[in-house]
Amino acid sequence: MLRIAITACGFLALAAPVLAAEPGGAASGTIAGEEIELSVWTEQSDFTSSSFSIYFWAPALRERGLGSLSLGAEWLGDLDGDFFSAEIDVPILETDPYRIYRADLDDELSLTITSASYQGGMLAIAGQVEGVLTSMDRMALRNPDPDDTLSVNLTFEAVLSELQ
């Protein structure tokens, strides 16, 4: 009986984004090996029939000299985890020229979707993103220091409004 209750709670946890009626969500995991909790910035996050953009923020990012973390992906057909592009970036504050930590699928970024559903103009999505982001100039994505990296391993769930 206890095993059934634990399994049921697990399924409810996976379904939580589907049950939410309002945009929002969170991510947790590690950035540069340090535990972090992030919130979805609902005013900047959205989706279309073939893409999503999620912006995460936390005071802890600012304390590390970083801006809001963005995660985006594009696909063809159904949202089944088969992406033709995906990227993650985090601005490095107070740099000149303006720099970011960035990775995409070509950089062995791993983006796994564990659940996704559309309901009433909303996308409920959950998954994990993992990779090593490299510091580079925001414009032209030049990278003068390939050893300046930032590891990211986050589990997220979000409810996004459709891009209007």
Compute CA distances 46 → 7, 13, 124, whole Å: 31, 22, 11
Asked whether residue 140 carries a pLDDT value surpassing 80, the answer given is no
The DSSP string of 92-125 is ETT-SS-EEEEEEGGGT-EEEEEEEEEETTEEEE
| 42-84 pLDDT tens trace | 999 999 999 999 999 999 999 999 999 999 999 999 898 899 9
Strands 149-161, 24-31: parallel, antiparallel or unpaired by DSSP? antiparallel
**What is residue 161's three-state secondary structure?**
strand
Q: Which of 16-30, 67-81, 122-136 has the lowest mean pLDDT?
A: 16-30
Q: How far apart are CA 111 and CA 75, in angstroms?
A: 12
pLDDT of residue 20: 46
Q: How far apart are CA 51 and CA 104, in angstroms?
A: 15
Q: Which of 24-33, 76-85, 109-118, 141-150 has the lowest mean pLDDT?
A: 141-150
* Position 10 confidence tier, pLDDT thresholds 50, 70, 90: very low
The mean pLDDT value for 103-119 works out to 93
* Position 146 confidence tier, pLDDT thresholds 50, 70, 90: confident
Measured between its terminal Cα atoms, the distance across the chain in Å is: 47
The mean pLDDT value for 95-106 works out to 90
The mean pLDDT value for 1-27 works out to 53
Asked whether residue 139 carries a pLDDT value surpassing 80, the answer given is no
